[in-house]
Structure 1
């Protein structure tokens, strides 16, 4: 009986199936056998007790039926392709995961390459923004020039730098070398010389200081108000804005900046500038190369001294800040590019740096930095009348309010000299 049963079980052949089918079929067959076997043992024991053994063929057939049923059930349930779930995944998600996996599993060089690409992209964007700013500034300037197509023609525009506290200095100029009233207008019309005191506004617009300037401007009509907050440490910004403003208002051959404690001979100025009318990109003044002052607390201290080399080095050549002139094309260049022109602590250094890298002719005109008497007096007596006079020790005329009249008398070119100059 036992031998017959063993042979029946040994002779069972397993039909090869696909992986999923085999697993599922085997599981069902196992469940069928396991669930049937206790029943069969129990039934067989009963038969033994009754003396009628259970047939081995019946057992074999029952097992075979269970196996076939499992196979059919597996074929019905597991014939769906396993790739159905995979194909439902979005390709973008797979790509994103693959990209992240590559970054996480990649070599350090791969990560650095990605960082380098990002850095280059940022640099490219910054360059594009800078270019757009330049183009916008140029377009704004062209638009402004088109709106002011009837800009007044002039030979030279002279901006006299002044401050709220310099009322007496301005009066000393009006009483000496600077025309006023109808004579000022006549000078503009016939000689093309425009003279204006240039000043911004106070930190509290509309206050006492601004109202005082408004009253003075209404009386003399010789002011150019700038959209600028006045302050000693803001002279570079003021100079930059001055050139940008005057270019939009006057179409001149030269643009000048002069301090309000300088004595000027207008006739000699016209004659000197006229020599450079045909010279493109000319920068005229008393050229110097002073030391870069790195010590804190001293006058003219340069916070960015490290840009000029070791301690004790000197600046590049530039015109002294008391008086200088630039040609039309250079003033236009400043007007267009003002957003990216760097400002150093000292205004004359700033202007020099804006022009240093350009094809510019630097003219060291020593007649624009004569001393006060006896220097300018002696030169005037020998026929070498100075364009401008001041004291180097004071960066202007020392006590200019008290001394301007006497200097004008000793060093002046004479009344009416400017009207005799032919341009």
Structure 2
């Protein structure tokens, strides 16, 4: 039998008793032909493998020759070298790292990257939920793995992304119920009566600032003369390392007496659209002026203990507020106002609903809320009872005359007269 032409695939039986297949798929970095090899005791199996290699080669989706990545090695490379700040935010990176180290590497790390299947992913999601983890946590892991393998495909470390074919965990999120107008007024009244940082909640409810945006706001970003604030940064959740040296304290790093902050106080906003300028209502300008005066008095009283960071909302010593402390203060505020419990982020939903009630155009609402796309409006603007009642009144005024209880067509027809004898 003559030899195949250069570059052609070949299938042959070797002296070792195995069938071998060789497929030329391209050129290596050193200029030599990239010729892949498969083998099996079955000729039909080798033939199928050769055809698969040829199909992937022709589609341009065959991984490069070289290191055979495992899922663990790729995820470690991705989280340590690719998905890192400043390419992504500090908070996003922290979320990715938790998913990678706590769920993905223990659950899928041993698989070869090019052997990972959609079924492997789906089994991991099911096991997570069987252990009592929420569908939201499993869905976040799904998104993290999808993003990591999308990069692997672009860099030709793997041919296809199996996560795109995997069934994502189903999210049954409860629809947020924003506060009604009367409830918002009650909440604002309680917030303004607070001795410290009451204006922080007024900003959240009136302007829809995210938690990080409000806590990262500095006086340099506030122009009370023109009634404008500029959103430029967000407060990051603190992250600590042990500072106890050779004698470990035995506690978690966050509770170490000599703990050291390893993360900056603030980072960039969630998106480019988040960097925005917002006009302040006059009552809010007056409230911020009063808040500034109170803070000046606190600074004078603290003297050398004051840590000047320029933040609008601070601890009594001038340091920025901790997001966890801020969360508990929100819960306390709701209890004082005797309102139902909601998430802190629901204050943002409430602000979006106020914009809807006022009939603010979507482009303007996007600029105020810091949305990156108009589709966000459908996620944040919700029908409240005030809106439903307004719509009901308009429909009633359109279809019924004042004082008319029912349609004339619904009235009983008059009885016909008896025919004359």
Please report the TM-score for the alignment, with normalisation by the length of structure 1.
0.20
Please report the TM-score for the alignment, with normalisation by the length of structure 2.
0.20
Which one has the bigger helix percentage?
1
For the pair shown, the structure with the greater C-alpha radius of gyration is 1
